[in-house]
Structure 1
Amino acid sequence: MLADEIAQAQARAAIQAEERNLRHEARSRSQSTSHYTSSSAQSHNLRSITTMEDHQYSKIIDSIPIFSGNPHENINDWLDIVSLKFDIIGYDSRQKRRFIPQYLVGNALKWHLTHRDELSSWDDYLVAIKSAFPRLITTSRDMNLKLLRDRKQGDTESFIDYYTVIIDLCHKHVADM
């Protein structure tokens, strides 16, 4: 179902890109006195640009990180990344709210399923998810050491993400590390 929605969003983005290209092409034709072959070359170039834009949108969608709601994850950082990428794609608030569940797993997805009907606006959703998964701030050295000792790499967690969290915990444990 979510894959269909992504495909539809990509199709809409492609249509918008094609419409934009057609406007540019029409503007070029009205200003140009060149021959038909030049116009044909421009049309080919515009199609190539559209294909490149579609490829970029696909790469952006594929690079959106997953949020599980684990205490070591920072909801604010994650939402900043997701919002930025959704804005690049051109999603409006309704689309952002509709597509965000595909980037949730575990406790975060359970939370979403429980509250999805209550939170219809994007802004309400942001406030609610931030309060549901607050950033874990540890002040105790012992607590930081325990978090560091107990931290394991998740099954789907990339090494870079795991490494970044470990380094962050090390700095919290010993500030001049």
Structure 2
Amino acid sequence: MNQFKACGLRRDDQIEAIPLLLEDDAYLWYADNSDAIFNFETFTKLFLQQFKSTISSSTSSKGGTGTLVTTVPDYSSTSHLQRTVADEIIKKPTYFRGSQDDVHDWLDKLEQRFTMANWNDEQKLRYISIHLQDDAYRWWMQTSTSIKTWSAFITAITQAFGSTKVQELAFEQLKWYKQTVNQSITQYYDKIIELCKKVDPVMPDSLKLKYLMVGVKESLKMHVALQDPKTTEAFLLSAKKIEDVLSITKTNNELSDNDITIINATGYQNQVRDRATFTRTSNNKFNQKNPWNANASRTRTNSSQGIPVGNNANRQNKFSNSTRSTQKLGACYNCGTPGHYARDCTRPHFQ
């Protein structure tokens, strides 16, 4: 209670902080009874009922200075979200059972949750046992006394349950992996880091950086090398900025090319329109100066359309009328006299 007051925690915050302060038997008791604990007063009552004798004996043996845990996190600077995530990590562990599970995937998921809760390596190692089951838990019970750091735990559990074939395959991929044309720098970075973890969960950051520099595409490599990043995070930050700049430059160039294409197309259309206008204007002026040419053109046009013109038309009309009237009256073709046919005519031809 004094520590809560020193941190300035409200009652609501105190009950949320409780799971992070318990370990071993105390935490297991809390996990079994959390549904019945609605506020800090309820927790205090149930907790004293369960551990009163233990606390009394501990107090008497240590002169009244006994505490549940040796360190208390500073929750005054911890966000509500981080405390909520931390509570979820404890209430709903990410289980690992042994060889039947992928140890690398499990570690990745676990690290993501630990990062969201802002846990340090000491807190990770303290609560790791609740995430282990079956073969993995039995292994932990046998080796936990010799594992004192989080990095040592990662190395040990990877060696115990990691597949050598998976590790060898990841190493081959890592050696030859190159960033593809359509792959963003973030996607490339995530893939390289994933392969590095499978090859060696505790691979030094400097070695990861070398793999990142080797496989990055040529359009970025020179620019990133000039920035001389010292860490993988610095590499990603520099590469993303350069990628954004190059993307903007490419977009501007494409827009400029489109503008030039539109201008050229518009200029060509204007040239065609001006040429057609000039041709029509020239023809009109020429016809005005030479009216006979216009008449001749109209005459040729009319002739081509079957319209009779001038004397030829008159002669054609007369001939057609004469022929039709001669055929209609039955006149002789030999002498021209109506009333009989040429076969019956007794007169000489065209007399």
- TM-score (normalised: structure 2): 0.26
- TM-score (normalised: structure 1): 0.48
Q: Which has the higher contact order (CA 8 A, sep 6+)?
A: 1
